[in-house]
Amino acid sequence: MFFKNFLYHFGRYVIMLRTALSRPESFNMYYRETMRQMNDIGVGSLVIVALIAIFIGAVTAVQFSYQVTGTLVPIYYIGYIVRDSTIIELAPTITCLVLAGKVGSNIAAEIGGMRQKEHIDAMEIMGVNTAAYLIMPKIIAAMIVIPILVALAAFVSIIGGYLAMVLSGAMSDAEYVQGVRSFFVEFNVVMMFVKALVFSFLLTSVSAYQGYHVRGGSIELGQASTNAVVFSDILILLFDYLIALLLT
């Protein structure tokens, strides 16, 4: 039963994406919609992403400091650990989990609301490819702005670690900077962007799928919104593991 259900939804998801991949009726309209989505997803998420990132960096630094205190591990390693854990894992994964909640639920509710208020039917009757017009701009916008948000989150997180360590006097400015500059592997940045791209595709397409196929009333819309977040989160964590296996 579970497998049959999975195949049914996966099939509909693939068909939706295939329908969405068609030539736009008007490049101008799609461009404007993509710009609007970039603003909503990117600019609209800046504050929450920065706020979470600064605390992630600070907490990582404080907890690692607690673990290395009284050991032979050099204290400057704190900067190195904050940098690498942020770039490899925390910035892409935590940022995208948060965005699945903020952006994913918003996408599901927006498209689902349009379905229920017959806006999608109205567009279909006009001859608009609704899967393309309503979904592709969101996916493209997310795949452009979310990697930028993730890079920003990584930077802010490292600053967060700096503030927590240096301002509290736990270590000197020079020690933290030395840690941040030590053992740098460029490929980790590539891995961060690969994760950001895959996660942004997943969270927008899964959320759009939930909204696009919503039926019924406000309860079903609420369920679709919740499902968008839950399934996006599960898939992000699953693909996080797969990418880690493949790229490390």
Partner 1 sequence: MIKAENIFKSFGDKEVLKDISATFLPGQTNLIIGRSGAGKTVLLKILVGLIQPDEGTVWYDEVDFSHLKKKDLRTVRMKVGMLFQGSALFDSLTVEQNIRFPLDMFTNMTAKEKKDRVNYCLERVSLEGANSKYPSEISGGMQKRVGIARAIVLKPKYLFCDEPNSGLDPKTAIVIDELIRSITIENDITTIINTHDMNSVMEIGDHIILLYDGKIAWQGNKAEVLNTDNEILENFIFASPFLQRLRSTALNNG
Name the site residues for partner 1 (rule: CB under 8 A): 19, 25-26, 28-29, 117-119, 121-122, 124-129
Q: Which is nearer to partner 1, 95 or 105 (CB)?
A: 105
Nearest distance, CB of residue 65 and partner 1, angstroms: 48
Write the DSSP assignment of 35-85 as a string of letters.
HHHHHHHTGGGHHHHHHHHHHHHHHHHHHHHHHHTTSSS-TTHHHHHHHHH
Strand runs labelled E in the chain: none
In degrees, rounded to 5, the angle at the alpha carbon of residue 195 between the alpha carbons of residues 85 and 227 is 110
Tokens for 147, please give them: 């990697």
State which residue, 24 or 222, has the beta carbon closest to partner 1: 24
| 8 A C-beta contact, residue 104 and residue 207 | yes
Instruction: Decide if 1 contacts 189 (C-beta within 8 A).
Output: no
State which residue, 40 or 175, has the beta carbon closest to partner 1: 40
Tokens encoding 25: 């009726």
Q: How far apart are CA 92 and CA 75, in angstroms?
A: 26
Nearest CB to partner 1, comparing residues 122 and 247 = 122
CB of 136 to partner 1, least distance (A): 14
CB of 198 to partner 1, least distance (A): 29
Q: Is the Cβ–Cβ distance between 211 and 110 less than 8 Å?
A: yes
- Between 19 and 34, name the residue whose CB sits nearer to partner 1: 19
CB of 230 vs partner 1, minimal distance in Å: 27
CB of 13 to partner 1, least distance (A): 18
- 29 vs 246, beta carbon nearer partner 1: 29
CB of 25 to partner 1, least distance (A): 5
Report how far residue 139's alpha carbon sits from residue 232's, in angstroms, rounded to the nearest whole number: 14
- Residue identified by tokens 């195949």 is 7
Contact (Cβ atoms closer than 8 angstroms) between residue 210 and residue 227: yes
DSSP state of 89: I
Of 43 and 73, the one with the shorter C-beta distance to partner 1 is 43
Residue type, 155: F
Min CB(211)–partner 1 separation in Å: 16
Q: Distance between CA 246 and CA 169 in Å, rounded? A: 40
